[in-house]
């Protein structure tokens, strides 16, 4: 009887071991808790599943929690922004070009067992936006032209969130870099999501935005060119654990292929499908991959 029980126990342990092995074999795809990240997590999941991989998706996470989960081996791959890794995770405030930013985070994160694959052309950095008719009428298409207009006595109200207003690389340093200053009475602080609506409804003349937000094309805003390259580069790129890439080397080609399909316009349109047209993340991700012949 004891032998029989021992055999049962051994069988149970074997089954448990197999289950654990299967669970460990799944590639865990992570994502943060906003639309663009949910889309990238879903696209990555759909793409890898279509190529025969066993995938588990864990999205909707906070930025720092997700990063730590990847460093700890709980997440295998997710899409990160070069500027976020540079400033938030590696605590570097020095101004760098897009290429320098990428090369720096690639080198620093390699020490943590993380591999940065090819960056996309989608740069989800801060941006200043205006309604197109007003921008065209005033001849303002760059931040330098905005500065010139304000220095010339033009009153243009500006909507931004409290963080950008106060942060050490935010509004005041930007104004200093461009040589102008919004009068205090012309600055309207509000939640990030409200800046778009305030601009659309003509409550303000200029608004802070994120460059790949879907509401920019949906509301026919124009992004003022950051002609002095003040804002850091936040290129979107796939980041994979080195040990995961060693086990699954074909991930590099697949994820680089998806990265090559993405730029500011593409991401803004995809984001708009969810945020403005109220399509599901699952549908938008699937339709995009299918339209690109990737699944």
As a whole number of Å, the end-to-end CA separation of the chain is 54
Report the C-alpha gap between 162 and 184 in whole angstroms.
13
pLDDT at 104: 98
Superfamily of the domain at 126-223: Osmoprotection protein (prox); domain 2 (3.40.190.120)
Per-residue pLDDT at 248: 98
What is the CATH code for 2-123+234-291? 3.40.190.10
pLDDT at position 19 is 44
pLDDT at 93: 81
Burial status of residue 276 (CB atoms within 10 A of its CB: 0-12, 13-18, 19 or more):
middle
Whether residue 104 contacts residue 83, with contact meaning beta carbons closer than 8 Å, is answered with no
Beta carbons of 222 and 132 less than 8 angstroms apart: yes
Domain locations in the chain?
2-123+234-291, 126-223
Tens of pLDDT, residue by residue over 46-81, are 999 999 999 999 999 999 999 999 999 999 999 999
Output the pLDDT for position 270: 96
What was the pLDDT predicted at 24? Answer: 52
Low-confidence ranges of the chain (pLDDT < 50): 1-23
Radius of gyration of the chain (CA): 23
What pLDDT score does 12 carry? 46
107 backbone dihedrals φ, ψ, rounded to 5°: -70, -45
For residue 269, the model assigns a pLDDT of 94
H helix or E strand, kind and range, residue 60? strand 55-61
- Give me the helix-helix angle, 281-291 and 264-275, nearest 10°: 140
Query: Taking the CB of residue 167, how many other CB atoms lie within 10 A of it?
Result: 12
pLDDT of residue 9: 41
Whose tokens are 């009428």? That residue is 137
**Whole-angstrom distance, CA of residue 270 vs CA of residue 285:** 8
User: What gap in Å lies between CA 103 and CA 290, rounded to an integer?
Assistant: 32
Assess contact for 126 and 231: CB atoms under 8 A: yes
Q: Residue 163: what pLDDT?
A: 82
Q: What is the DSSP letter of 185?
A: G
The 27-32 sheet, strands edge to edge: 55-61, 27-32, 77-81, 236-241, 114-116
**Cα separation, 270 vs 282, whole angstroms:** 11
CA distance 189 to 195: 9
Question: What pLDDT was estimated at residue 88?
Answer: 87
């Amino acid at each position: 009887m004891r032998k029989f029980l021992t055999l049962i126990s051994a069988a149970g342990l074997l089954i448990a071991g197999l289950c654990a092995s299967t669970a460990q074999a799944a590639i865990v795809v992570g994502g943060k808790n906003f639309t663009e990240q949910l889309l990238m997590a879903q696209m990555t999941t759909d793409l890898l599943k279509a190529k025969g991989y066993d995938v588990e998706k864990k999205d909707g996470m906070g930025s720092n929690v997700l990063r730590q989960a990847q460093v700890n081996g709980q997440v295998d791959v997710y899409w990160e922004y070069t500027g976020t890794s540079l400033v938030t995770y590696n605590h570097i405030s020095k101004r760098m070009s897009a290429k320098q930013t990428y090369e720096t985070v690639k080198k620093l994160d390699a020490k943590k067992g993380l591999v940065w694959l090819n960056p996309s052309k989608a740069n989800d950095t801060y941006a200043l936006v205006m309604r197109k008719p007003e921008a065209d009428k005033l001849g303002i298409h760059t931040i330098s032209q905005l500065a010139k207009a304000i220095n010339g006595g033009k009153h243009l109200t500006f909507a931004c969130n409290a963080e950008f207003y106060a942060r050490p690389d935010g509004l005041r340093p930007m104004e200093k870099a461009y040589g102008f200053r919004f009068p205090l009475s012309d600055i309207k602080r509000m939640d990030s999501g409200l800046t778009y609506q305030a601009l659309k409804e003509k409550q303000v003349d200029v608004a802070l935005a994120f460059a790949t937000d879907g509401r920019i094309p949906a509301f026919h805003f124009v992004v003022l060119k950051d002609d002095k390259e003040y804002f850091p580069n936040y290129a979107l790129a796939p980041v994979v654990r080195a040990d995961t890439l060693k086990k699954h080397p074909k991930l590099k080609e697949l994820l680089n292929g998806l990265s090559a399909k993405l730029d500011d316009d593409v991401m803004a349109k995809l984001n708009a499908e969810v945020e403005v047209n109220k399509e599901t993340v699952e549908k938008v991700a699937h339709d995009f991959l299918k339209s690109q012949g990737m699944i």
